Amino acid sequence: METLTRVRSQRRERLIERLIELFLDRGFAELGVADLAALLRCSKTTLYAVAGSKEQIIVTVVRAFFRRATARVEARLEEETDPGGRIETYLRAISAELAAASPAFFADLTAFAPAREIYRNNTRIAAARVRQLVLEAAPGQDAAFAGAVAGLVMEAIHRGEIKANTGLDDSAAYAALAAMIVTRTGRAR
């Protein structure tokens, strides 16, 4: 029985990974469950093993994307020991994870409230992490200010304000933020 459960769990995880890639490439709002099944060459029943409705599938997949991205970002961060380098590594790793996402994916994240909230929550966690990294790299009031500014910019990226004002997509905005914060903390490499 355990083997069957493990096999089903592995299949489900592989399907979620395929859905992540599809969502990143095409978005998800315009795709029905039948469309997803056709694109992934599986049955609708197989998709409903991920979750019980299209909306729940979306939430499951978006959560999985951010969980995967967070794990990859943290893994990259573990490789860096220089405190200033950790800030740049962290923000550039976020940029790299978001680079795979199409404009359609970001538009759908914004339009679908449960997905938007997942993104918002992940942005808040990442902003707190950046503030912590900045304080570790350059303790003091200036670092606290730089960390707070980074958090505000990250939230503006999430809300689409940076793209509207600069034309930078989320990935490019995180790369620019990395360059700015690293320069501000005096740790440019």
Mean pLDDT of the chain: 89
pLDDT of residue 186: 61
Nearest Cα neighbor of 144 from 157, 131, 156 is 131
pLDDT of residue 189: 43
Statement: residue 90 has pLDDT above 80: yes
pLDDT of residue 17: 96
2-184: CATH topology: Tetracycline Repressor; domain 2 (1.10.357)
Statement: residue 188 has pLDDT above 70: no
pTM of the model: 0.86
Which helix (DSSP H) or strand (DSSP E) does residue 109 occupy?
helix 103-111
* Residues 6+ away with beta carbon under 8 Å from 182: 84, 87, 88, 188, 189
The full set of domain ranges for the chain reads: 2-184
State the Cα–Cα distance between residues 80 and 70, nearest whole angstrom.
16
State the Cα–Cα distance between residues 101 and 132, nearest whole angstrom.
27
